[in-house]
Amino acid sequence: VVGRINSPFGWRRHPVTRRRDFHTGIDIKAPRGRAITASKSGVVEYSGWMGGYGRGLVIRHGDGYSTLYAHCSSLSVRKGQSVSQGQTVAHVGTTGRTTGPHLHFEIRKGKSPVNPLRMLR
């Protein structure tokens, strides 16, 4: 999604709880409804409600990596569906614990979070 990173990966003060916590992804501020596209091809492992993450999805990429897209207003894909890099998978929203419209984006290697800024560009 095109937007500005307003919360980077790493330690921070949580914008809702005000407690210090480790942010396992990046938050990209963007207008509600803006299209979110898959960062890489893969298979949708989960699509639905994710508690504090709100409406979200996980794409498994087959190389040990997965990506998570959260706080979406709507989801465009279902579990088990194959997706291509650049395909619209969701739209920016404010679902879950959030203070405004943005995409929470994570990259994981196995179960370990990876700084997305080291892998994107």
pLDDT tens for 60-76 read 999 999 999 999 999 99
Q: What is the mean pLDDT of the chain?
A: 94
pLDDT tens for 22-48 read 889 999 999 999 999 999 999 999 999
Q: What percentage of the chain exceeds 90 in pLDDT?
A: 81
Beta-sheet strands, E only, within 1-121:
4-7, 10-13, 20-23, 26-29, 35-37, 42-49, 55-60, 65-70, 72-75, 82-83, 88-92, 102-109, 112-114
Average pLDDT over residues 78-105: 97
Q: Tell me the two tokens of residue 68.
A: 């998570």
CA 55/CA 52 separation, integer angstroms: 9
Q: Does domain 4-113 have CATH number 2.70.70.10?
A: yes
Which tops the pLDDT comparison, 120 or 117? 117
Please tell me whether residue 109 adopts helix, strand or coil conformation.
strand
Categorize the per-residue pLDDT at 121 as very low, low, confident or very high, splitting at 50, 70 and 90: low
What are the sequence ranges of the domains in the chain? Answer: 4-113
Closest C-alpha among 86, 82, 71, 77 to residue 33: 71
Query: In sequence order, which residues have a C-beta less than 8 Å from that of residue 112 and are 6 or more positions away?
Result: none
65-70 and 55-60 strand pairing = antiparallel
pLDDT of residue 14: 79
